[in-house]
Amino acid sequence: MTIKFHPDSATLMSFASGSLGEALSAVVAAHVEMCPRCAAEARRMERIGAAMFEQLAPTPMSSAAEPTAALQTMTKERPARAANRDEDTDADMPRTLRKIAGPELDRVPWRRIGIGVWHYPLPLSPGAKGDLRLLKVAPGQAMPEHGHGGAELTLLLRGSYRDEIGTFQTGDLADLDDDVEHRPVADLQDGCICLIASEEKAKFRGLMARLFQPLTGF
Amino acid sequence: MVQLASYSGVPVSVCAHTMTRSASMNELLQRVASGGDAEAYRKLFQSYAPRVKSYMIRQGADAGTAEELAQETLLTVWRKAALYSGEKGSATTWIFTIARNLRIDRLRREVPWQELPDGHDEEASTDVPPDEQLSDKERSARVQAALAELPPDQHEVVVLSYIEGLSHSEIAEKLGVPLGTVKSRMRLAYQKVRESVEDLA
Ligand SMILES: [Zn+2]
């Protein structure tokens, strides 16, 4: 897999610092899993955080925190090493998403939301802002039209799409600035499956409402 | 001021603005990882818990919550120590990521998708002989020096992101600048600091 499109370094830095919201972080984490270059970059960015953390003036612990005694009785986790990582060879869902989306893209309970477009919204924590969903687009079908409001990240999980910027293939992540207008079209042979997160819920709802129009004739 | 017992002949006091003896912190974490060394753990606790507490306060926790989260971060260090493989990894970076994830989970009540580094994917040292490698302490000093040289507007967004935990949009709102400005300051800052966090010097 040759990945050509990566998150902006500002996005990756926000991810590494722990300040990127849950929905956007899920997409970056899935990309980092597939992209050794970004994985290494994220580690470098964590070292920046660690260097700043180290410089914080310490705040004394108030209780005479003497943890040692309690520890003797505590069980320690044994390392869960790489051995069990690829136990399921059909699993093509990003590892981080398997708990909420299952192991295989083909077994996602897709819901049709327009002509040649299916989605599966993924649950976020109750207080989390934004929107996270899987989107499946039939071959040659245009992706839903939308303007960007707030950050939006799209990760290609299968197939490819083309837009004005180029051809996005499996593993590629589109990290677009607010002002970019684009209208991707899914690959003519295979269509595509993407993971999409947006920072703003309302904007994405607007998109879904428009998607419903051809079906319901509002 | 916390007096740490000496483990290399010289008593070390931890109260300055930079943590001393990080390289030895890696050794201490190794001892906890391999043998469950309670004395090594106590020293780690004394060094790191007060900083995790400061970090949590800067992230918006009240003092009581910050103290609990510092305790919990250090408990996680004990429980997960075996996952840390330390020849190449930095104890401080590892503990920072534990604190970061705990803060996402408890203070923001969101899922931390970030995995903890285990030291295996660090790209250090395969091409550089051990005696030419920077110690953890030297590396960290190099990053701190690079950060100190950033222009104030770039330094500010980095601090707001890492230490105050603000998203790009929140930073834009706080500073009254466009989102694109925040992102470009972050990018520029990273370009300047990146070299200092490379493993191969
Ligand atoms: Zn990448």
The domain boundary residue, chosen from B95, B122, B149: B122
Closest CA to A166 of A184, A189, A191: A184
Amino acid at B96: F
Domain termination site, one of B55, B90, B122: B122
Structural domain boundaries, residue B40: 10-122
Q: What is the CA B18 to chain-centroid distance, rounded?
A: 12
Q: Which of A199-203, B55-59, B72-76, B80-84 has the lowest mean pLDDT?
A: A199-203
Say yes or no to pLDDT of A209 above 70: no
Give the CA dihedral A85, A89, A92, A96, nearest 10 degrees.
-20
Q: How far apart are the C-alpha atoms of A35 and A4, rounded to whole Å?
A: 10
Is B200 found in the same domain as B160?
yes
CA of A6 to the centre of ligand 1 (A): 4
Closest CA to B86 of B45, B32, B128: B32
How many CA atoms, within 13 angstroms, populate the side-chain half-sphere of residue A205?
5
User: What per-residue confidence (pLDDT) applies to A152?
Assistant: 87
How many angstroms separate the Cα of A107 from the Cα of each of A79, A103, A119, A141? 30, 8, 13, 21
| Residue B4 belongs to a domain | no
ipTM: 0.84
pLDDT of residue B9 exceeding 50: no
| CATH classification of the domain holding B50 | 1.10.1740.10
pTM higher than 0.95, yes or no?
A: no
Centre of ligand 1 to C-alpha B117, Å, is 17
Same domain, B152 and B60: no
Distance set, CA B173 to CA A176, B47, B61, B110 (Å)? 20, 35, 21, 22
Q: B16 and B108: one domain?
A: yes
Domain boundary among B74, B96, B122: B122
Residue B141's nearest CA partner among B20, B6, B13, B4 is: B20
Tally C-beta pairs within 8 A across A and B. 217
The C-alpha of A106 sits at a distance from chain B's nearest C-alpha, in angstroms, of 23
CB contact under 8 A, A76 and B36: yes
Whether residue B116 is found in the same domain as residue B160: no
- In order of their start, the domains of chain A are 1-218 (2.60.120.10)
A3 in contact with B, Cβ within 8 Å: no
Ligand 1 geometric centre to CA of B18 (Å): 33
Nearest to residue B140, comparing CAs of B98, B100, B93? B93
Give DSSP secondary structure letters for B20-48: S-HHHHHHHHHHHHHH--HHHHHHHHHHH
- Write the residue in A40, A51, A61 that is nearest to B140 by C-beta: A51
Q: Which of B17, B37, B197 is nearest to B117 (CA)?
A: B197
Looking at the fold, whether B14 and B68 belong to one and the same domain comes out as: yes
Minimal C-alpha gap between A94 and chain B (Å): 12
In this complex, do A9 and B186 lie within 8 Å of one another by their Cβ atoms?
yes
Same domain flag for B26 and B91? yes
Asked if residue B114 and residue B78 are part of one domain, the reply reads: yes
The answer to whether residue B2 is domain-embedded is no
Task: Decide if pLDDT at B120 tops 70.
Answer: no
Q: Is B42 among the domain residues?
A: yes
The answer to whether residues B53 and B80 belong to one domain is: yes
Structural domain total, chain B: 2
Q: What was the pLDDT predicted at A143?
A: 80
